[in-house]
Structure 1
Amino acid sequence: MNSEEVKKMPFPLKNIVCTGIMLLFISVIVSSAQHKRPSKNKSTVATKTAIAKRDSSKERKANGEAKQRSLEVRRRAEELRRKLIEEKRRREELIRQARARQMAFERGLFESTIDNIKNDQTEGEDLEIRRAAISALGNHAGTIVVMETQTGKVLTIVNQDWAVRNSFKPCSTIKLVTAIAGLNEGIIQRSGEIAYQPFRLDLTDALAFSNNTFFQKVGVRLGIEKFVSYAKMLGLGEKTGINLPDESPGKLPYSEHNPRVYSHGDAVEVTAIQLAVMVSAIANDGKIIVPQIPRFTSQKASFREIFKRGISLPSYTFQGVLPGMIGAVNYGTAKTSGASYLNVAGKTGSCIGQGSWLGLFVSVAPVVNPQYTVVVITRGHRERGKVAALIAGKVYQALEKRLNQNRNYHLAKDNSQQISVPKPKVDERISILIDGGDNEEIDDIISTKNLRKKTSQTVDDLLQDQVVDGGKASTDKKMVDERKSTNDKKNKIIEKNSQDKPQNGIFKPIIIEPKKKQDTSEEQKPKVLTRPRIVKTVTNTRIL
């Protein structure tokens, strides 16, 4: 049907045909659109699916990498933990082995001491003093020499092998040699100060607190040659001549330039019997005697001293070190001896030598006209000078009766020698700070448990509360607790009532009676007492 035919159609029919054509055209267009739309949707879905797959792949890859990293971190942490555990076990094993070796070494020292004591030649010794010395030594490995200071008569030598045949590092006891040499050479003035070199401590406190820096300064100015000559003068480096076999001469440092020689005794070796002769010579104003054990009947009946030689030094060189030795016993490194009331003068020593710690204490008593010399040397992990001083204090307690019996005689024998008991001029912490903490006897110096080394605290900080007058420091509060003398103790005996004494090993309950309440108001209220309260009850207590 063409356009001409359409024109010839009637009007209604024409409208119908046109409408049909339009509808057909529209349907064709719609159909075409419907055919095109699914392809577009398919393309979009495919794209989204591809993107989702790609994202999922990336996510899986990222998750896999994260998981791998987590596993690697966990593996490394586990490996580190395993290594730490192995290191800890290794350290614990090393510590265990070290402790085992130490215990074996300590056991060997103690067993050696016991065996040597069993083999001691006790003929001629004072068996009462020997028993007291062995009891004082207790479970410590060491040796004890007890000798009459002025005659050289040996009362007992516990562990003669260590005392005569073995030589040890003298530790801080060598400071006595440095002090005497410094006094005689003028390096230390009679006032105790180091000449031309201001120092916080004087000789007395330096000896009492065993200050290393003081004696190293003196020793460096003195020189090794003079030091050795004074050591030989005092009986070191040679045999004493005691009537026991195989005596060791010790050793002196002829070519040593280490300052520790003058404070610690590095490269020096001495025997206990040499130290006894040396400290006796200091107390005897320079008289060197030969120690002897009275073996023969004639010696036992009437012992005569054997004079070896005299030391030609002024008396003040020997008397100059005695206040420091007294101070050591009263407030210094040897206060653990508890023998200050017996007028003991001594010097401690603590150092490492011969593979273990050494604790030494050399002493005489009483200070004026001395009667007894006691030397103690101990070896072991826990041994220090304060331990040796404690052992010596027990020996002096056994000698107390003899000292009291002869005290008047000895004091009246020579009234020209006047030695007063010193008091500390500085706080004990100053000596520690001056040494910079490098002092083996810090534990011996410190008197309170709460006192600790403070590196940030200077010497000037400690002297803030002290008033310095003429080189001497005074303080209002007491710095140390001085032990009371025997006479003071006897005058202040506290007598206990018989009812307070334990009976049959049982203590009565301790009852605290409450105080009456006081009313400060105007109206007096009736006084009410609370019920007594039992604080502590001890039963079946063994009385030692």
Structure 2
Amino acid sequence: MLLSPEKCLSKFCSAIFLILISLSINLSAQTKKTSVNKKKNQTESKNSTQKVEPKQAKNAKAKPADLKKQAEDKKRADSRKTEDKKRADSRRAEENIRRAIEEAKQRAAQEARRQAALAEARRRAEIAREAQARRIAFERGLRTETVANIGNDNTEGEDLDVRRAAVNALGNHAGTIVVLEPQTGKVLSIVNQDWAIRQSFKPCSTIKLVTAVAGINEKVINSDGNIRSKRFPLNLDDALAYSNNSYFQAVGAQLGNAKMISYAQMLGLGQRTGINAADESSGRLAFGNNNARIYSHGDDFEVTPLQLGVLVSTVSNGGRIIVPHIPRNKFEKANFRGTMRYQINLPNNNLQGVIPGMIGAAQYGTARRGVDSSLAIAGKTGSCIAQGSWVGLFASVAPVENPKYAVIVITRGQSERGKYAAAIAGKIYQSLRRRLVETGDENLAKVPLELRPETKVNAKVSAQIDTAEGEDSEDNDANNSVPKETLTAQFAPKGTIKKEEKPTNLFPTIVVKVRKSSEIVRQSDEITRPRIVPSN
């Protein structure tokens, strides 16, 4: 049902009135609640103030004691901190001191080691100086002895030209020289006769000549120079030329000591040569020594220069063991006839089988720098340590096809080696060069084709092959040069020297005939030579 406008307006006003009354009631209630809360807060604040004031009063009464305690606590804390700091500082100081002490000990130890090293170096230097002084004194003694001995030599009956050449060649070396005729045994000169006649020396590598002759004759070495039943890169010619120790030790292993001794005796070692001089040494043989070095180094052997002269003369004169003899008067010199002790019962080819290797030593081997190979020199060097010093040896003949001279040089001293002994012999041969070629024989200074060495390797390869302990090789030679000083001129013979009288030989000379150079084809590839083959 629809209401009239008047009724609608009346109801709307009533509703508005009711709403206003409700809002008024709520506002009054809120105001009252706020007032109550404010009063409550004021009461609580007052109560709180009343509670704090007694506590502050209580604290005010207790403050002096607390402050004292606090001050004491702070003092104790500060004291503990100070003590802790002091202890820490003390520990740091102690650690620093310990480190300093440790570093000082380390420095002291290092300094002690340094001083010990310096002391050891000084000690070693002093030992080296003393050793060097002893060596110098020893060598000076050897040279002084050599000079004194040469001054005491009996030169009666000697060839003064040859003696002068030998003395000049020896120079300032401590040593001895023997020059003789390999066909007759006539001694032309002996320089330092005491050493040459009355003393004996280790033969070093010159003993390889004995090993080689024995090896050839016993067929341990075949006709090509190779070792029987053993493959070896070197043949006999190169083994002698380069003085290869391994080769001769391999040969000796198949020979044995007894055969080695018997061949050494056959070739004149271990016995007096019979020279007309007093107190001759007989040397020594290596009886009972089965070490391989006896075949290559000559261990336990001792030889005299005269014995080496007889040895190289024997292999070049057809196997005759000659007796060295010094012609003491004019009659002996004018009518000299040599003496033969005995003829070796070996085929001549077996003896001459060592000649090519001796020629090789002079041409391209251990003696090549010291001798003039154009003079047809054949020789064997030796170098080793014996009797407190190095020993250098060279035993040689020239010319090989008709030997006229045998020159043996033995030297002693720290710088001595076989090649230097060969150089001394080379000077002697140069001084006698005119005599070597004055006969007019065009073949005199030529090497027969069948005696020429057949080389397979060079010195470097030989040294690499040589596994045995060696002393007579180029690698072991001293670096010192040969001293140039000469002995006092008083030992060189003075006066007019007569031309050498041609000796009357008891034994026929061996002359190997060869074709003239014009008959030989010059192409080396087409040249062949018969090898000296051991006789059955």
TM-score norm. by structure 2 comes to 0.76
Counterpart in the other structure of 1:419: 450
**Equivalences for 1:56-75 in 2 at 5 Å?**
56-75=89-108
Counterpart in the other structure of 2:462: 431
Q: CA–CA distance in 1 between the matches of 2:395 and 2:50? A: 145
Q: CA–CA distance in 2 between the matches of 1:19 and 1:381? A: 117
Structure 2 residue corresponding to 1:312, chosen from 341, 345, 348: 345
In the alignment, is the contact (CA less than 8 A) between 1:349 and 1:360 conserved in 2?
Answer: yes
**Equivalences for 1:31-430 in 2 at 5 Å?**
34-406=67-439, 408=441, 411=444, 418-422=449-453, 424-430=455-461
Residue aligned with 2:176, SS: strand
Counterpart in the other structure of 2:21: none
| Bigger radius of gyration among the two | 2
| Structure 1 pair 19–55 and aligned structure 2 pair: CA distance change class (3 A) | closer
1:91: Cα distance to partner?
Answer: 1.2
In the alignment, is the contact (CA less than 8 A) between 1:190 and 1:320 conserved in 2?
Answer: no
Q: 1:375 corresponds to which letter in structure 2? A: I
Counterpart in the other structure of 1:529: none
Q: 1:181 corresponds to which letter in structure 2? A: A
In the alignment, is the contact (CA less than 8 A) between 1:428 and 1:445 conserved in 2?
Answer: no
In the alignment, is the contact (CA less than 8 A) between 1:386 and 1:444 conserved in 2?
Answer: no
Residue aligned with 1:357, SS: strand
In the alignment, is the contact (CA less than 8 A) between 1:242 and 1:291 conserved in 2?
Answer: yes
1:281-324 Cα deviation digits (max 9, x unpaired): 01112111111112232221132121221111122212211111
Residue aligned with 2:189, SS: strand
| Structure 1 pair 80–444 and aligned structure 2 pair: CA distance change class (3 A) | closer
Q: 2:470 corresponds to which letter in structure 1? A: N
Q: CA–CA distance in 2 between the matches of 1:167 and 1:16? A: 136
Residue aligned with 2:432, SS: helix
Q: 1:200 corresponds to which letter in structure 2? A: P
Indicate the larger mover: 74-83 or 437-446: 437-446
Q: 1:161 corresponds to which letter in structure 2? A: D
Q: CA–CA distance in 1 between the matches of 2:48 and 2:398? A: 153
Q: CA–CA distance in 1 between the matches of 2:51 and 2:85? A: 51
Residue aligned with 1:337, SS: coil
Q: CA–CA distance in 2 between the matches of 1:434 and 1:230? A: 27
| Structure 1 pair 54–241 and aligned structure 2 pair: CA distance change class (3 A) | same
Q: CA–CA distance in 1 between the matches of 2:338 and 2:372? A: 27
1:20-52 Cα deviation digits (max 9, x unpaired): 656535645776765554344223322222221
| Structure 1 pair 138–180 and aligned structure 2 pair: CA distance change class (3 A) | same
Q: CA RMSD in A?
A: 2.8
Q: CA–CA distance in 1 between the matches of 2:301 and 2:477? A: 27
Residue aligned with 1:333, SS: coil
| Structure 1 pair 46–303 and aligned structure 2 pair: CA distance change class (3 A) | same
In the alignment, is the contact (CA less than 8 A) between 1:167 and 1:248 conserved in 2?
Answer: yes
1:358: Cα distance to partner?
Answer: 0.4
| Structure 1 pair 51–447 and aligned structure 2 pair: CA distance change class (3 A) | closer
Q: 2:376 corresponds to which letter in structure 1? A: N
Note the residue ranges of structure 1 that are not aligned, 5 or more in a row: 1-12, 450-486, 488-544
| Structure 1 pair 64–22 and aligned structure 2 pair: CA distance change class (3 A) | closer
Q: 1:172 corresponds to which letter in structure 2? A: S
Residue aligned with 2:303, SS: coil
| Structure 1 pair 186–28 and aligned structure 2 pair: CA distance change class (3 A) | same
In the alignment, is the contact (CA less than 8 A) between 1:429 and 1:446 conserved in 2?
Answer: no
Q: CA–CA distance in 1 between the matches of 2:102 and 2:466? A: 55
In the alignment, is the contact (CA less than 8 A) between 1:428 and 1:446 conserved in 2?
Answer: no
| Structure 1 pair 204–445 and aligned structure 2 pair: CA distance change class (3 A) | farther
**Equivalences for 1:453-472 in 2 at 5 Å?**
none
In the alignment, is the contact (CA less than 8 A) between 1:432 and 1:439 conserved in 2?
Answer: no
Indicate the larger mover: 14-23 or 324-333: 14-23
Residue aligned with 1:194, SS: coil
Count of equivalent residues: 436
Residue aligned with 1:360, SS: strand
1:133: Cα distance to partner?
Answer: 0.6
1:239-288 Cα deviation digits (max 9, x unpaired): 11111111111111222112111111111111001100110001112111
Note the residue ranges of structure 2 that are not aligned, 5 or more in a row: 1-45, 481-516, 518-536
1:61: Cα distance to partner?
Answer: 1.8
Residue aligned with 1:236, SS: coil
Indicate the larger mover: 293-302 or 226-235: 293-302
Q: CA–CA distance in 1 between the matches of 2:253 and 2:49? A: 139
| Structure 1 pair 300–21 and aligned structure 2 pair: CA distance change class (3 A) | closer
Indicate the larger mover: 164-173 or 330-339: 330-339
The percent of aligned pairs where both chains have the same amino acid is 51
Residue aligned with 1:264, SS: coil
Q: CA–CA distance in 2 between the matches of 1:17 and 1:392? A: 140
Residue aligned with 1:392, SS: helix
| Structure 1 pair 95–406 and aligned structure 2 pair: CA distance change class (3 A) | same
Q: CA–CA distance in 2 between the matches of 1:128 and 1:404? A: 16
